[in-house]
Amino acid sequence: MDIKKTAKIFKALFNSNRLELYLKIAEAHETGFETGGECCVADIIGCLNISAPTISHHIKELANADLITTEKRGKFLICRINEEMVAEVGKILVLNRLDKNPIHLA
Amino acid sequence: MDIKKTAKIFKALFNSNRLELYLKIAEAHETGFETGGECCVADIIGCLNISAPTISHHIKELANADLITTEKRGKFLICRINEEMVAEVGKILVLNRLDKNPIHLA
DNA sequence: GTAGAAAATCGACAGTTATCGAATTGTGGT
DNA sequence: ACCACAATTCGATAACTGTCGATTTTCTAC
């Protein structure tokens, strides 16, 4: 394991607003949002009570840590979970988040 | 999952020196240190190149997040991994750290 | 009780971060 | 062309963090 790399992920998620934001994106990733299975900044403003500039900032942080990917589509910024990262380190997050799929040691 | 609680753990481990410190304690927990299977501040000074006060500070942070337990024995402060926490959230850390025992989804 | 080692405490400082309001840019519809 | 909306950028500020050197406490061994 690369310590720097791992610390970077923790750094991206230690802020509870940012963690909540990440989980919200993950949730949309599975259950769908009003926009249809995807998640944009406007969706999040309704859920978390932080300002749009702050959300924009946090999204950039998450993207910078490769935890999510973003894509500009029309007026909206579509955010998606980066599956590769989940596969590599983030499994525990998704697993814990959903409170299902318990972990088993090999 | 409790977001605040999870964020607290990430917060305790996002600093790479602190993560390294945690992993060092985990390592001693298994393979043993010169002191005999345990880990004190003096052991760590030799590994990480940060000062004793800083290490002391980091240890308190880890203990405060319930990731380790500490016990004063004579002149030494013995640090140990909190197994309960590992069991609850930290499995991925230990697993990744050792690069063995791969995770399997249920 | 004195000396020395281990660790903690105490400021202090530099750097980082979260957050906001205001202003700006970009996009789509009318 | 204009308006409304989505998002970003731009300071600014308050709060937090990591780190250190110096000092102090706590313990052991003599």
CATH topology of domain A3-97: Arc Repressor Mutant, subunit A (1.10.10)
Output the distance from A69 CA to D18 C1' rounded to whole Å. Answer: 31
Q: Supply the Cα-derived Rg of chain B in whole angstroms.
A: 14
- So what's the pLDDT on residue A29? 65
Instruction: With CB atoms and an 8 Å threshold, state whether B92 touches A97.
Output: no
- In this model, does residue A33 exceed pLDDT 80? no
Other C-beta atoms closer than 10 Å to the C-beta of A4 total: 10
- Which residue is closest to A24 within chain B, CA to CA? B3
What is the per-residue pLDDT across B41-68, written as a single tens digit (0 to 9) for each? 888 888 888 999 999 999 999 999 998 9
Kindly tell me the sign of the dihedral angle through the C-alpha atoms of A52, A58, A63, A67: negative
Output the distance from A3 CA to D19 C1' rounded to whole Å. Answer: 20
Closest to B93 (Cα-Cα) out of B33, B37, B23, B29: B23
CATH topology of domain B3-98: Arc Repressor Mutant, subunit A (1.10.10)
DSSP for residue B73: E
ipTM over 0.90: no
